[in-house]
Structure 1
Amino acid sequence: MDLWTKRNITDYLSNPDESLDKNYSEERQKIRKAIRAEDEKTKKMGGVIDWNYMLNDMM
């Protein structure tokens, strides 16, 4: 399962709310949950994920 694809990131960013996960397939729900966990873990440590870098410079 490759979390950090452009499709997965843009999908998560467009609808980050966990309540919307039910609209996705089981596999996509797992991906969204994993990305959300990383996002929340980073925020708890006081950081911010640089989504612009992830989408533009890394891909």
Structure 2
Amino acid sequence: MELFTRENIGNYTSDPDAKNDHKYCKEMQEIRKELRKLDQETKRDGGVIDWNYMLNDMM
């Protein structure tokens, strides 16, 4: 399961709310859950994930 793909990041950033995960297939739900976990851990530590950088420069 590859987390950091353009499709997965775009999907998560367009709708990061966990309450909407039921709209997606089981695999995408797991991916969204992992991305959300990383995002929340980073925010808890005072950081910010630069999703735009990940979408445009890393891929």
- Shorter-chain TM-score bucket reads over 0.9
Paired AA for residue 2 in structure 2: D
Structure 2 distance, partners of 1:38, 1:4, is 11
* Corresponding residue number in structure 2 for 1:39: 39
Paired AA for residue 23 in structure 1: K
Q: What is the TM-score with the length of structure 2 in the denominator?
A: 0.98
Q: What is the TM-score with the length of structure 1 in the denominator?
A: 0.98
Paired AA for residue 8 in structure 1: N
Map 1:1-20; keep pairs closer than 5 Å: 1-20=1-20
Query: Which ranges in structure 1 are unaligned for 5 or more consecutive residues?
Result: none
Map 1:15-30; keep pairs closer than 5 Å: 15-30=15-30
Structure 2 distance, partners of 1:51, 1:37, is 14
Paired AA for residue 56 in structure 2: N
CA RMSD of aligned residues (A): 0.4
